[in-house]
């Protein structure tokens, strides 16, 4: 196995010669930091930031950024890039290009691929594939559905072999599904407690898809409606709330670092808020679709707004925005989950695959309602800290990607302008603010 070192860059060209330096100077932009915007120039030489402030140097390229805001490459800690196994839906290369076009240059990919990321060889294979992708830094969650996967994960975490240490650097934690979703990766129920205990001991963050299998099964049994809108009824908010509550009891018992994936409901949010008040090590993310789409959208979008957990009510949307404003919600992560249009539209609506793309549209959706500093927290600082991704941001010595955004542009989202292989968006025609001008 060979994996490139994270954040490294080559000083020598392959033929041994010293390559020519390339420099880019970005003049006059507003750099978004945790403490608000700061007007400064940035000089990047051979991929590394060498000056931030008033920079008078010449450079190979000078970008005039007056009036633009500047983010470090954003982080989306929840995507499904589908490779290997589902390349007809998407590839790492296609989705990395989509991410970059939307200002996202680091993502954490989920294990529900084929093969699933539940073995060392599956993880190594993904890391090798990702090393050929230049648009985006791709990290991976390890999946655990049965005891053998947990044993493998423990081996990976404690190994002293150079190869496994290098591999572990690409693994950002464990993904658990408490109920089935795309890829059928539901964890065996009797294993859940053991995983929380082991991850607490080894300091491995758990990210979980929180829906309760019993509640969902009962709701599905009671349902006779075939309309796609029934999807929100057969996976109800009480399912999410119950699942989060159960997980939080284990967090309280073992002290596991626990992250709630794609929080969708006010009820779920209330449990997270209470656990935070009690000082439990819990964090959470919300997806843009749960902020701006609701059950009212089934009429227009049909299966194009079918995902797990499902869209909720408009008052859930508002509660989630409020959760961002009061700091209960730590991250925005897109759950970017491309399926082909044919797959979404074939057969009975309730059998259509769940999942929507979103990595390229997240930033503009957020800029429509939030201050840039808040976005910096949600899509850089917090995911970087929670999953220990090692990004340094826009400081001297950092190899950060630099995202230049015109915040004043008002435009509509159109699939024709996007880069995901799936070629559709649930946000078609949506009025948003802001446009990524360049990522350098």
CB-based contacts of 39-43 (< 8 A; 24+ apart in sequence): 42/70, 42/394, 42/402
Q: How far is the CB of 354 from ligand DOR (least distance, A)?
A: 4
**Structural tokens at position 75:** 């982080």
Nearer to ligand DOR, 358 or 383 (CB): 358
Is 335 among the residues known to form the active site? yes
Q: What minimum distance in Å lies between the beta carbon of 182 and ligand DOR?
A: 3
Query: Measured from the CB of residue 110, what is the shortest distance to ligand DOR in angstroms?
Result: 6
**181 near ligand DOR, rule: CB under 6 A:** yes
- Other beta carbons within 10 angstroms of residue 130's beta carbon come to 23
354 binds, among Zn ion, ligand DOR, none (CB under 5 to 8 A by kind): ligand DOR
Span interacting with Zn ion, options 27-35, 330-338, 364-372, 405-413, rule CB under 5 A: 330-338
Determine which residue in the list 41, 211, 335, 360 makes contact with Zn ion, applying CB under 5 A.
335
Query: Which parts of 199-238 interact with ligand DOR (CB under 6 A)?
Result: 209
- C-alpha triplet 434, 436, 440: angle, nearest 5°: 150
Closest distance between Zn ion and the C-beta of residue 337, in Å? 6
- Residue 182: contacted member of Zn ion, ligand DOR, none (CB under 5 to 8 Å, by partner type): ligand DOR
CB 362 within 8 A of CB 334: yes
Stretch of residues binding Zn ion (CB under 5 A), selected from 186-194, 335-343, 387-395, 396-404:
335-343
Does the footprint of ligand DOR cover residue 355 (CB under 6 A)?
yes
* Active-site residue identified among 41, 179, 212, 335: 335
Mask for 4-43, x = binds ligand DOR (CB under 6 A)? ----------------------------------------
Residues 286-325 that bind ligand DOR (CB under 6 A): 307-308
Binding mask 73-102 for ligand DOR (x = CB under 6 A): -------x----------------------
- For Zn ion, how many residues bind (rule: CB under 5 A)? 1
Provide the minimum distance between the beta carbon of 311 and ligand DOR in the complex, in angstroms, as a whole number: 10
Which segment (44-52, 143-151, 179-187, 297-305) binds ligand DOR by CB under 6 A?
179-187
CB of 49 to ligand DOR, least distance (A): 35
Q: Which residues have a catalytic role annotated?
A: 335
Residues forming contacts to ligand DOR in the complex (CB under 6 A) are: 80, 112, 181-183, 209, 307-308, 337, 354-355
């Amino acid at each position: 196995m060979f994996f490139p070192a994270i954040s490294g860059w080559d000083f020598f060209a392959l033929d041994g010669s010293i390559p020519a330096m390339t420099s880019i100077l970005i003049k006059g932009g507003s750099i978004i930091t945790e403490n608000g915007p700061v007007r400064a120039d940035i000089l990047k030489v051979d991929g590394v930031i060498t000056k931030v402030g008033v920079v008078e140097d010449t450079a190979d390229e000078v970008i005039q950024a007056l009036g633009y805001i500047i983010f470090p490459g954003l982080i989306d800690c929840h995507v499904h890039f589908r490779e290997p196994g589902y390349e007809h839906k998407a590839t790492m290369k296609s989705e990395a290009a989509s991410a970059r076009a939307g200002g996202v240059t680091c993502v954490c990919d989920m294990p529900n691929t084929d093969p699933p990321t539940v073995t060392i060889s599956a993880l190594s294979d993904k890391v090798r594939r990702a090393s050929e992708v230049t648009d985006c830094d791709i990290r991976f969650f390890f999946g655990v559905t049965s005891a053998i996967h947990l044993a493998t994960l423990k081996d990976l975490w404690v190994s002293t072999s150079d190869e496994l240490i290098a591999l572990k650097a690409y693994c950002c934690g464990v993904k658990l599904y408490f109920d089935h979703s795309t890829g059928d990766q539901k964890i065996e129920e009797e294993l859940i407690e053991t995983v929380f205990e082991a991850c607490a001991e080894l300091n491995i963050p758990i990210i979980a898809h929180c829906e309760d299998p019993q509640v969902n099964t009962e709701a599905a049994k009671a349902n006779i409606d075939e309309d796609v809108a029934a999807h929100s009824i057969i996976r109800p908010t009480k399912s999410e709330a119950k699942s989060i509550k159960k997980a939080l009891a284990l967090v309280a018992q073992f002290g596991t670092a626990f992250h709630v994936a794609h929080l969708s409901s006010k009820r779920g949010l209330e449990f997270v808020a209470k656990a935070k008040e009690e000082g439990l090590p819990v964090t959470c993310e919300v997806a843009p679709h749960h902020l701006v789409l609701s059950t009212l959208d089934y009429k227009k979008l049909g299966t194009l707004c079918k995902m797990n957990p499902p869209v909720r009510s408009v008052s859930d949307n508002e509660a989630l925005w409020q959760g961002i404003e009061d700091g209960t919600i730590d991250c925005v992560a897109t759950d970017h989950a491309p399926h082909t249009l044919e797959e979404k539209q074939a057969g009975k609506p309730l059998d259509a695959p769940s999942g929507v793309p979103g990595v390229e549209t997240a930033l503009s959706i957020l800029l429509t309602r939030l201050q840039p500093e808040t976005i910096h927290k949600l899509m850089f600082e917090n995911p970087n800290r929670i999953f220990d991704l090692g990004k340094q941001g826009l400081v001297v010595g950092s190899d950060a990607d630099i995202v230049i955004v015109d915040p004043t542009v008002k435009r509509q989202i159109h699939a024709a302008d996007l880069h995901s292989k799936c070629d559709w968006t649930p946000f078609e025609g949506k009025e948003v603010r802001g446009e990524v001008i360049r990522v350098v």
